[in-house]
Amino acid sequence: MPKRQQNAPFKALTQVAQEQQGYFTTKQAIEAGYADNTHPYHVRVGNWERIQRGIYRLAHLSPPEDGLTPAFLLWTRGRNDQPLGVLSHETALSYFELGDFNPVKVHITVPVAFRRNSPSPKAVALHRDSLAPSEITVLRGMQICRPARALCDVVHKNPVTLAECRRAAKDASRRGLILESEIKAAKSNPKFADIAKKLFQ
């Protein structure tokens, strides 16, 4: 095979992995041009790092900015190989530098119907709920809850955080991270109506 054709899968997979902080899935490797039976070889010779079943990382790329978090999101991938999970709760707030939250686990919200045969990673706190597209944004290539929704989720889960979340909400509003339309939507959501009225005064 000509060298140019040999390099094509490498270039294609590198492009995909760079958008995911170095991580990629088995399906993405196959789509890039790597035959399924060659994957163990690339792990054995050190080209790829096996993170968990079906998820790898290209060894030649720089260390991921967000550690294993992008890989955890890939673990939530659906049939189309796209992540179903969204960084949420305290994890989302920490990414926006709101409050003094420093969660021990990575909080990820997945659809209610989400199922996996394997247990969730030990470092992940999994939440099942519905998120509207308007409640999600993208940060560093990862889907993440917008601050208004993350704040409501944190208080709903742990009411004693209300005072801290109110301070964070004011900071977020001052920085333009919360829109009036989001506050209105939260106050009209039966699940968060009472919380939102206290949070966004």
pTM exceeds 0.75? yes
Three-state DSSP state, 166: helix
Report if residue 149 sits inside a domain. Answer: yes
Which residue among 39, 58, 77 closes a domain? 58
pLDDT single digits (tens) 28-81:
999 999 999 999 999 999 999 999 999 999 999 999 999 999 999 999 999 888
Q: Residue 73: which domain range?
A: 69-199
Residues 118 and 38 reside in one and the same domain: no
Distance CA 134, CA 125 (A): 23
pLDDT single digits (tens) 94-114:
999 999 988 999 999 999 999
Distance CA 105, CA 58 (A): 24
Report if residue 63 sits inside a domain. Answer: no
Residues 78 and 151 reside in one and the same domain: yes
The structural domain count of the chain equals: 2
